[in-house]
Structure 1
Amino acid sequence: MLAVVLQLSGGIGLFLLGMTLLTDSLKALAGDSLRQWLARFTGSSFKAMLSGIGFTLVVQSSTATTLATIGFVSAGVLSFSQAIGIIIGANIGTTSTGWLVAFLGLKFSIANIALPLVALGAMLKLLGRDQLALSGLALAGFALLFMGIDQLQVAMAGFAEQVNLSQWSNDGFATRLILILIGLVMTILLQSSSAAVTATLAALASQAIDLPQAMALVIGQNIGTVATAVLAAVGATTSAKRTAAVHVVFNIVTAIFALFVLMPVMLWLFQHTVLADWDHVVMLAAFHTAFSLMGALLFMPFIPQFQQLIIKLIPEKNQNNTRYLDETLFAVPALAISATEQAIRDSLADYYRMIVKALQGQVLAVMMSNRELDRVLTTVEQYLQKMPVPQAQVDQQHLTTLLRLIMYSKVLRDDFQYLEYVDVLPKYLKPEVLQPLIIHLQSMVLGLKQQPMEKMNSVDLIAWQNLVQQLKQQQPQYRQHIVENSVHAQLNAAEALDAMIAERWLERLLEHSIKIAYLLQHQDEVMS
């Protein structure tokens, strides 16, 4: 029995290791393109669901899809109703693992060629760079995954010979509840519903358990996936908590319907129709997919009501710009980098908006402070210290752009330290300069707040540069105007000095703003 347990543990370990390598490599290979794809193809709840299915199929991880969704909702790129659709889609997409195992892992074993695939993957990793190296890791992970399945099948066959599970084969409600509980615990212990379902498929293929037992275990394993989401949401952002709540409600409600409706119907069909000729393993994979499809049919028509319920139960308490910075995003580096960039962009936009209001006479700039930007920059630096270095080259380049943005933001932080000069400018700037200045600063706000977060196309860099040149050309007239006011006793010496410094301060502010606008408008060129 000890040998069976050790072989079972080893098979699960190989599967988990292979799945981790495969998922992480695919996420790194996709890089920021997955972020852009998911943000663009979620116009409706149905499209969001399809995107969730596609994203999960690509990265082979519903957890990665969930974490990506958390980041987009936090940054405002996706609405919460779209996020619900994506999560529902992720639950459907993750059932692809069952079909993969049923047809490739158990029906057509590739264990004999797995070791050469591992060797090839290792060589690509050692000798290749960037995408080739990541492809090697993905290939090795794929091979290890099926080596694990092969070990699981052998271990389950030995388990069936030594343990009699016939006492759990009756149709009693209490028995099914116990099996559901066992499936739930399996997922929590393995921290992977895919590994738990794979173990169940292997046990069914080895006849260690029968089909009704396997179905009950799968129901429990689907409920168990909420544990990971709940743990990830503890102490996390409101968006993470809401996403976890969607997981919990969706999986539990779907499990109840699966237990009382879907499972009896499919068992009856399996016994009394042409489905009787189906292989048990294929039937279980079909049940797993039907499970999630039924959940989609139950929830998709009521997404607006579901959204309002979750928002009411978990209201947003933290409205500051650093609410995007969730450590769960570290699993998808492109998202963590984008969330950090959005936090800085929003903070800068707030300051430019205040400057516009001050120039329009709506607020007094002297009452403004740069303490909020200091807080954001400090929080960002602490966040980046914890963030792992991304493997994909495109993510590394995006990180370089982010670091340059932080550097320019610190320069602007010094400019914002003297915002009181904004109150002086409207008195001396000519209307033909003041009005374009306000328009340009408003375009800066729009560019920084642009959603989905793409290149800053709203800022006309040539117009900005022309404005700076215009300021420089009008310096003599501006200063002459100040001197005349001082001579006629309309200004004292200190006020005249402040007016001159204010004009020079504005010129410096605009030059620094141009650098940020250029950086965000030419990200592809900066990263190449």
Structure 2
Amino acid sequence: MEISLKLLEISGMIALLLWGVHMVQTGIQRAYGPELRRLLSSALPNRFWGFLAGIGVTAILQSSTATGLMATSFTSEGLISLVTALAIMSGANVGTTLIVQVLSFDITQIAPIFILIGVWMFRRGNITRTRDLGRVVIGLGLMLLSLELVHNAVVPYAEAQVFRTVLHAITAAPVLNVLLAAALTWLAHSSVAIVLLIMPFASAGIIPLDAAFALVLGANLGTAINPWLEGGSSSDPESKRLPLGNLFNRIAGCLIGLAVLEPAANYISVIIPDPAQAVAAYHLVFNLSLAVLTLPFLSFFARLLCHWLPVREGQADPTKPVYLEENARKSPPAAMAVAAREALRMADTLKQMLDGVGDALENGDRKRASETRRLDDILDHLNTAIKEYLTSLDAQTFDDRDDRRMREILIFTTNIEQAGDVIERDLVNLTSKRIKRRLSFSPEGQRELLDMLQRLESNLRSATAIFMNEDPRMARKLAKEKEMFRELEERTISAHFQRLQAGRQDSTETSTLHLDVVRDLKRINAHLVAAAAYPVLKGQGELLTSRLKLTKHS
């Protein structure tokens, strides 16, 4: 009974360690996620710079899985080469070792200080990034505290014969150690947590150093499993190249590590007597050595991966243009036609995003909200492709109609892309916040929002038709929708305030969210009007330069 309670206690401490790692990773991603993503997607001239970028990003994120998922998406989108991505992953594997190096020293006394500072930053910070960094500091404090708790819990049992017998049976076979640690790392989604967990057991003398090193090998293998399972799509072999390459890299490293396990343990134990620091050092040496061995051969390895996982014939990538044909460049009217056809794909994607927002508002489906957010990448890529295609044409071959049509297409695609940004940056965040907080709009309020969404979808259909046929009558009707939407917004807000005055709890809880959604729906409608109606009305001379009422003094 006592052993069962002690195992339960240790399990709780391990859970605290995992939660601390999770807080550090999520805090950094929230605070600096976009900047780190831009760093990885920036033009990296060679594998050496990719390796350094992988170290830097992962040292900050403390998640090689997150770095691997970002690198996989960039490779699939053609932003970086497969060789550079493989170099990034080599750097990412080194980057995860750095925090382990720091925490291998006895600095547990400052854990309460970390937690105190983190709570103060989180509670008092008026800036979102300050609160996110507060989460990071709290997470570091919890990691230090949990390591100390685990160490103190296992030390009294270091000499217990039953405990040592069980652990000896588990750690007797190096291959089983590797597989055990790999499975634990896959479950925990963090090699950092597993390596940190190995350290107090090694420090207490409960597991021998060579067994601890074998467990470290398994942790490095397990960290490559999650990107393989989560990165890319099973229907897109190209997106699986990087995760598979990283997994093969880890397997080869583990085989080499097992072959030299005993001499490595003997050599490192002489140089670094402290077992915890020896485990951390081995973790670093293993990843650095594997990177040095593999970096010169990445080009050859990338060719093998491309051979093993070729691009499927006829495979469609929604982020890549379909109709922008090179042959059409010779004729401006033909080039405008194919660009307009590509622009319609953007309108279809925006329709899917509006449907996704409607489902998230009505059904509270968080997965649907996440899928909607990812659709914005399609708009961004298509808008860029259309813009580059049109601006690369020889303007000297244009007549007035070609020049006007090119501007109409650019205005349409720009506004559609900006409408998608409103959905991705604002509406999806609002719906996700409502779902996370388990809040519900009042039945009347939800109906009002869904009615506005339906009207937006109708206006999107009208905008698409106007873009294609340039009908002035439809353009006038859509332009009036801006005024109608303004009136609809006023009626919706008025009805919402009436429910607040009546003391409706369901309206009070979601008041800010409700008003923000209404505001964003109105912004999207303004983009739709500007996308199609205004260019046509301007060509007809029917567009006023100002909505201000003229007075005697004007």
TM-score strictly above 0.5? yes
Task: Give the aligned residue type for 1:297.
Answer: V
Contact 2:411 2:531 in 1 (8 A): no
Return the alpha-carbon distance in structure 1 between the equivalents of residues 119 and 159 of structure 2.
Answer: 37
Please tell me whether residue 512 in structure 1 is matched to residue 509 in structure 2. no
Return the alpha-carbon distance in structure 2 between the equivalents of residues 367 and 195 of structure 1.
Answer: 52
Equivalent residue number for residue 123 of structure 2 = 126
Equivalent residue number for residue 359 of structure 1 = 332
Return the alpha-carbon distance in structure 2 between the equivalents of residues 366 and 25 of structure 1.
Answer: 42
Please tell me whether residue 242 in structure 1 is matched to residue 241 in structure 2. yes
Does the C-alpha gap of structure 1 residues 502 and 6 become closer, same or farther in structure 2, counting only changes over 3 Å?
Answer: closer
Please tell me whether residue 157 in structure 1 is matched to residue 159 in structure 2. no
Contact 2:213 2:279 in 1 (8 A): yes
Q: In the TM superposition, what whole-angstrom CA distance separates every residue of 1:11-30 from its partner, at most 9, and x where no partner exists?
A: 11111111111111111111
Q: How does 1:364-375 map to 2 (within 5 A)?
A: 372-373=345-346, 375=348
Task: Give the aligned residue type for 1:207.
Answer: G
Equivalent residue number for residue 205 of structure 2 = 207
SS in 2 for 1:94: helix
Equivalent residue number for residue 32 of structure 2 = 30
Q: How does 1:3-14 map to 2 (within 5 A)?
A: 3-14=5-16
Contact 1:4 1:158 in 2 (8 A): no
Does the C-alpha gap of structure 1 residues 355 and 437 become closer, same or farther in structure 2, counting only changes over 3 Å?
Answer: farther
Does the C-alpha gap of structure 1 residues 375 and 319 become closer, same or farther in structure 2, counting only changes over 3 Å?
Answer: farther
Instruction: Among all aligned residue pairs of Structure 1 and Structure 2, give the percentage whose two residues are the same amino acid.
Output: 23
Alignment match of 1:376 (pick from 340, 349, 352)? 349
Structure 1 regions of 5+ residues with no counterpart? 323-342, 391-398, 413-428, 449-499, 517-528
Return the alpha-carbon distance in structure 2 between the equivalents of residues 211 and 367 of structure 1.
Answer: 66
Task: Give the aligned residue type for 1:86.
Answer: I
Equivalent residue number for residue 179 of structure 1 = 177
Q: How does 1:50-449 map to 2 (within 5 A)?
A: 50-103=52-105, 107-110=106-109, 113-129=110-126, 130-162=128-160, 163-165=162-164, 175-233=173-231, 235=233, 237-261=236-260, 263-270=261-268, 275-276=270-271, 278-317=273-312, 319-322=315-318, 343=319, 350=323, 359-361=332-334, 372-373=345-346, 375-380=348-353, 386=366, 432-433=399-400, 436=403
Contact 1:61 1:94 in 2 (8 A): yes
Does the C-alpha gap of structure 1 residues 357 and 147 become closer, same or farther in structure 2, counting only changes over 3 Å?
Answer: farther
Contact 1:114 1:144 in 2 (8 A): yes
Return the alpha-carbon distance in structure 1 between the equivalents of residues 192 and 534 of structure 2.
Answer: 47
* Length-normalised TM-score, structure 1: 0.64
Deviation at 1:71, TM superposition (A): 2.3
Return the alpha-carbon distance in structure 1 between the equivalents of residues 203 and 57 of structure 2.
Answer: 29
Does the C-alpha gap of structure 1 residues 243 and 255 become closer, same or farther in structure 2, counting only changes over 3 Å?
Answer: same
Task: Give the aligned residue type for 1:36.
Answer: R
Does the C-alpha gap of structure 1 residues 143 and 188 become closer, same or farther in structure 2, counting only changes over 3 Å?
Answer: same
Contact 2:186 2:225 in 1 (8 A): yes
Please tell me whether residue 2 in structure 1 is matched to residue 1 in structure 2. no
Deviation at 1:430, TM superposition (A): 10
Contact 1:18 1:142 in 2 (8 A): yes
Return the alpha-carbon distance in structure 2 between the equivalents of residues 161 and 382 of structure 1.
Answer: 63
Deviation at 1:127, TM superposition (A): 3.3
Contact 1:358 1:365 in 2 (8 A): no
Deviation at 1:502, TM superposition (A): 6.0
Deviation at 1:133, TM superposition (A): 1.4
Contact 1:18 1:145 in 2 (8 A): yes
Count residues in correspondence. 401
SS in 1 for 2:158: helix
Does the C-alpha gap of structure 1 residues 131 and 501 become closer, same or farther in structure 2, counting only changes over 3 Å?
Answer: closer
Return the alpha-carbon distance in structure 2 between the equivalents of residues 45 and 12 of structure 1.
Answer: 37
Deviation at 1:41, TM superposition (A): 6.0
Return the alpha-carbon distance in structure 2 between the equivalents of residues 89 and 366 of structure 1.
Answer: 40
* Length-normalised TM-score, structure 2: 0.61
Return the alpha-carbon distance in structure 2 between the equivalents of residues 204 and 436 of structure 1.
Answer: 73
Contact 2:356 2:369 in 1 (8 A): no
User: What's the C-alpha RMSD, in Å, of the aligned pairs?
Assistant: 4.5
Deviation at 1:315, TM superposition (A): 2.3
Equivalent residue number for residue 456 of structure 2 = none
Return the alpha-carbon distance in structure 2 between the equivalents of residues 514 and 20 of structure 1.
Answer: 48
Q: In the TM superposition, what whole-angstrom CA distance separates every residue of 1:323-342 from its partner, at most 9, and x where no partner exists?
A: xxxxxxxxxxxxxxxxxxxx
Return the alpha-carbon distance in structure 1 between the equivalents of residues 297 and 397 of structure 2.
Answer: 57
Task: Give the aligned residue type for 1:260.
Answer: A
Return the alpha-carbon distance in structure 1 between the equivalents of residues 327 and 404 of structure 2.
Answer: 14
Q: In the TM superposition, what whole-angstrom CA distance separates every residue of 1:492-527 from its partner, at most 9, and x where no partner exists?
A: xxxxxxxx976979x9999738999xxxxxxxxxxx
Return the alpha-carbon distance in structure 2 between the equivalents of residues 62 and 284 of structure 1.
Answer: 19
Does the C-alpha gap of structure 1 residues 363 and 447 become closer, same or farther in structure 2, counting only changes over 3 Å?
Answer: closer
Deviation at 1:6, TM superposition (A): 1.8
Does the C-alpha gap of structure 1 residues 98 and 155 become closer, same or farther in structure 2, counting only changes over 3 Å?
Answer: same
Does the C-alpha gap of structure 1 residues 299 and 45 become closer, same or farther in structure 2, counting only changes over 3 Å?
Answer: same
Deviation at 1:253, TM superposition (A): 0.5
Does the C-alpha gap of structure 1 residues 175 and 76 become closer, same or farther in structure 2, counting only changes over 3 Å?
Answer: same
Return the alpha-carbon distance in structure 2 between the equivalents of residues 312 and 382 of structure 1.
Answer: 39
Q: Which moved more, 1:3-12 or 1:78-87?
A: 3-12
Contact 2:72 2:243 in 1 (8 A): no
Contact 1:352 1:444 in 2 (8 A): no
Does the C-alpha gap of structure 1 residues 445 and 137 become closer, same or farther in structure 2, counting only changes over 3 Å?
Answer: same
Task: Give the aligned residue type for 1:32.
Answer: P
Contact 2:71 2:88 in 1 (8 A): yes
Deviation at 1:381, TM superposition (A): 5.1
Deviation at 1:177, TM superposition (A): 1.7
Contact 1:350 1:445 in 2 (8 A): no
